[in-house]
Each structure stands twice: as structure tokens, then as C-alpha cells.
Chains A and B, each alone.
Chain A
Amino acid sequence: MTSAAIKLDQVTKTFDGRVMAVDSVTLDIAAGEFFSLLGPSGCGKTTSLRMIAGFEHPDSGRVHVGGNDITDLPVHRRDMGMVFQSYALFPHRTVAENVAFGLRMREVPKPEIERRVAAALAQVALTGFETRKPGQLSGGQQQRVALARALVVEPPVLLCDEPLGALDRKLRQQMQFELKELQKRLGVTLVFVTHDQEEALAMSDRIAVMNGGKVEQVGTPTEIYERPRTRFVADFIGEINILEEGGRLRALRPEKIRLVAPDGARLSGTVETSNYLGGSTLLRVQPANGPSMLVRETHAGERASRAPGDAVGLAWNDGDAVALEG
């Protein structure tokens, strides 16, 4: 399967002439990359995706796919695959007819359609469901039909708009593995829109964190988590402590903090609450002055060593407190 690079070049989109949905966004997505657009609702991630798909036309800026400027190309000529949160299966057609749709539009000969539909359904483990209607399938099965329908045309680009959002936790995790595996095997460029930071961290090669129509940071999951550039990114991804040191803001992850004896510690205070999370415990520590601090104590076997009311000292390495811009 071929894959194509995507480039958004200073793309801007306003709605009703007022609301700035996407504000001069530039992104370079490599061919074969699993790329996530991550952010809260209204941050412009879905609008960006819809401009790649062609449902929205940018007010200014260009969209390139595979080196071609496709900004003015209508949706149906862009040769992409797309998976929606609501699955958007054709309710009046069977599973096989749903999957065959894109091939039929491309006027692929009938025997080849049958062969490729069978292969696509096998790929998502839905062989035997050909004659069912979407309404007779579970959410996870519907999502897999949607995936097969998008991939059967072998698009160079697959767009996913919160595709796992409607699934329950366990199934979502399973589908995360399946989707990532499938993407790597096919080598397709995948643009994945989500507001779920864990999902983005788990699946992506790179992530663009968006806020207020702008891209705050682009990077690998590790970079985004370990080296957040702005306060927004630090806050949005996981738990964070924001420290002020000499007029500069620094971000410190709770798991980077060690619990030590109160005397002579960098910071000392009292444990206020202790939330047991299974693999770890999240403590909130109130220092004598200043804001409270989150501390993650990971434990292999033992329960948390501290209880509310205990006096503790906090220590961390200088390099773990990441300086933030602005």
C-alpha cells in the first residue's frame, strides 16, 4: 500500500466570519506516520482534519497530500479513507455492501470487489458477518466494519475522527492495539483526532497538541510528556506540578518527585490526601507555604508508605523541572 505525506501550510478557517476555528496552522506529517491531533473540544483539531478530508475549505493557506496541492479538490476525488466516531455506516446496506461501496465508486470489476471485500473483512476479523446489517452489530464490530470500509480502497491516507470515543474502556484499549498494528502493517499515513491524551500517547508516532485553533507543540509522545513546551501542554497531558522559580514557570511530573525525610528536604509539608491507584498512589502534599504538590509513589507490591497527616519531604532532580515558555 502506498502512503503519502501531508502538509498543512498556514491554514486558517473561521466560521460565520467570526469564530477562529483554526488559526494559521502549519503541520508536516510524514508518509506512513501515525500522527495525532490532540486537544480539548473546540481546539480546532476536528476542523483541521475536515480540511484535510475536504469537508471544509480553508479561508487561507494550502493543503498538500503526496506533494500535490489538493486545497481545491472536492472530497470525492481526494482518495482518502475516513473513520468517524459515529461509525457512519450505511444503515440500509449489509456489512459486505458497506465495505464494497468505495470499490463500487471506483468501478472496480465485480469479482475483484468480492475478493477484496472478503480480504478486508478477514483483516478486521469479521468474516461471516457479510450479510448482517450494521444495526445488528455491536459497537466494536461496527467500528471494525468502518475501518474495513475505509481501508479496502487502499487509501494513502487514513483520517480518524475520535474513532474509539464511543467504545467502552476495555474495548477501546483492544482497538488501540489493533488499529496501531494495522496501521504499521499497511504503512498508511494515519491522522488521528482525539481529546484523550492517554490514547494519543499510546498510539502515536508524533502528536500535535492544539489549543484555541493553534498548534502548541508537535513532538513524539515522550517529548510531549517529558518536555512540554507550554503550560497548556504540561497541564493537558497527565498530572503536573507548576513551580515558579525566579520568575520562570517550571513543570514537574508527580512521578519525578521522591519522598524523603522532612528535615533538610527541598520542600517539606504534610500529606493531605492519598489516592490509591493500583500500580501507584497519588499523594497531595501541602507545603508550609505555596500551592499543594502532587506526588506519585509507584510501588512494586507494597502499599503506599505515607498516610494523610504524615510529615514528608520532597526531592527532585533539577533537570526534571522543565522550564516553560511564556
Chain B
Amino acid sequence: MSAAPNRRPFDAGRAAYLALNALLLGFLLLPIAIVLVFALNPTPYISFPPVGVSLRWFEKFFTNAEFMNALWLSLWVATVVLVLSIVIGAACALALARGSLPGRAVLTAFFMSPLMVPAILTGLALFQAYLLSGIGRPVWGLIAAHTLVAVPYVIRTTLAVLHNFDRRIEEAAAVLGASPVRVFFEVTLPLIRPGVFAGGVFAFIVSFDQFPVSLFLVVPKGETLPVVLFNYMKFDLDGAIAAASMVSILLALSVVLVLERLIGLKAYVKL
């Protein structure tokens, strides 16, 4: 005689937990699904339900010179912002976490402040500052502005890694004969890298999707993709917008995936 296998009793709490997660996931993914539907629907205006599947809006997006120029501008601005943000952000985070700076809490708040100020105010303020100081609106001004709002993300993620950092690991390297400079490059930098690059992903996306700050700082014929899309939407509301959104989403996603592959954002979680 063998005992009947134990059935797992129905667990209402677990069911509710799964349902809540499904709901949240749906809430996050549904808008993307809707955009995808519009991007593939061939009707010349945004409508529901879709009547078919076509790539005409993607074709329109990729053959439109204005869209393409804006896409390339946005991509390379975001790339430069990524590089600048991780260098500045990681340096800031190290100084805040390691340097015995007076008024560290105040300094941290100061470096984080671009996150608190509405981006549209940051854009307006920079616009006026650039105008008054005669800088005008060069591309590097735009990059500086994006970097300003992107750096706090890198500081945040790097500080999080530094917070859990076992400094004995650096001491072990020093005892073994590593000078302070070598300790930094052999141990500190490799270990904070996941945090730095996680912030870098945010920095790239913050720049690539940046609208309010860019709005004030771009010049005609030198507009980033979100600004071009906004202008386009003022007159046409067709599937090209949806197609452009899909391209943006896919680009951002591929940046995340490439960084994950190259650096392993989840690497050495146990620090």
C-alpha cells in the first residue's frame, strides 16, 4: 500500500500575489502592445480595431530624412552622454562614499538635485543661461544638459554598490603589494563596474528619450528624435509615430541587452 501523494493546498495569498504581479506586468506591457498594433496597422490614422498588418509606417520612418537625421543625432548624443555620465558619476560617487568630505549629506543632495527639479525648468534655466552667456545652442550644450540630468542615475547606482563594498578586499590587495593606484584599477573599478554601467544604461535612456530639456536647447535642423516626433505629431497623427516609438523602445532595449551581455549587469551581486 502506498500513501497518496500530498496535494499542495490552495493558497489564497499566493494566488493573490500572482494575480497582482500579472496585473502589474500587464499595466507595463499593454501600452507597448498597443503602440505595436498601431505601428503595424496600415490605416492612415490611428484607429482601433486594426484592419491588417503592414510595415508601411516603418518604411515611412526609415525613409524620412528628417526622422533619420534626428535618430542619428539622438543616438550619438546619448552615447556621448553615457560615456560622460559614467566617468563623472562614478567619480562623484567614489568621492561621496570614500572621501571624508565635510557636509557629505548636503553634497549628495546637491548632486541628486537634477532629479528633483522638473526637467522643463532645467531646460528653461539652461536655455536662459546659455543665451545670457552667449553660448547659444551648440550640440555640446545639449550634451552637457543631458549629462546634467543623467549623472544622478549613475551616482545613485554606484553609491548602492559602494555601500555594500567590503573594503577588506581592497586592503587584501594592498597587503599583497598593490599600490593605491593599482588597487583602484585591479579591484575597486572592476567591482563597482556593474553599478556604474547600470547607471550608464539609465543615462543613455534618459538622454535618448529626453524631451523637456531638449525642447529648449535644440536648433532647427538639429533636433533630437523626441522633439521631431513631437513636432510631427502636431500636424500628423499616423502610424509613423507608433513605428518611431517601437524603434526607440527596441533601441533602448538593445542597449540594455548589449551592456548586460558585455559587462553582465548582474555580475557579482554578492559583493
Contact = CB atoms under 8 A, between A and B. Distances in A.
Contact of B173 (A78, A101, A153): A101
Given A92-B191, A92-B268, A135-B270, A105 B168 contact: no
A92 B186 CA distance: 10
A88 B176 contact: no
A90 B173 contact: yes
Contacts of B271: 91
Contacts, number: 71
A159 B172 CA distance: 11
Interface string A132-150: 0001000000000010011
Contacts of B20: none
A149 B169 CA distance: 12
A27 interface: no
A106 interface: yes
Contacts of B186: 101
B59 interface: no
A90 B172 CA distance: 9
Contacts of B175: 53, 75-76, 78, 80-82, 150, 159
Nearest to B174: A75
Interface in B153-211: 166, 168-169, 171-180, 182-183, 186-187, 190-191
Nearest to B166: A86
A79 interface: yes
A90 B169 contact: yes
A105 B169 contact: no
B168 A88 contact: yes
A190 interface: no
B23 interface: no
B267 interface: yes
A88 B171 contact: yes
A76 B178 contact: yes
B267 A79 contact: no
A101 B183 CA distance: 11
A129 interface: no
Contact of B176 (A74, A92, A102, A135): A102
Nearest to B175: A82
A316 interface: no
A76 B168 contact: no
Interface of B: 166, 168-169, 171-180, 182-183, 186-187, 190-191, 267-268, 270-271
Given A76-B180, A102-B176, A105-B177, 4 more contacts: A90-B187, A149-B176, A150-B175, A150-B176
15 contacts: A55-B174, A75-B171, A76-B177, A76-B178, A81-B175, A88-B166, A88-B169, A88-B172, A89-B172, A92-B190, A101-B173, A101-B178, A102-B176, A150-B175, A150-B176
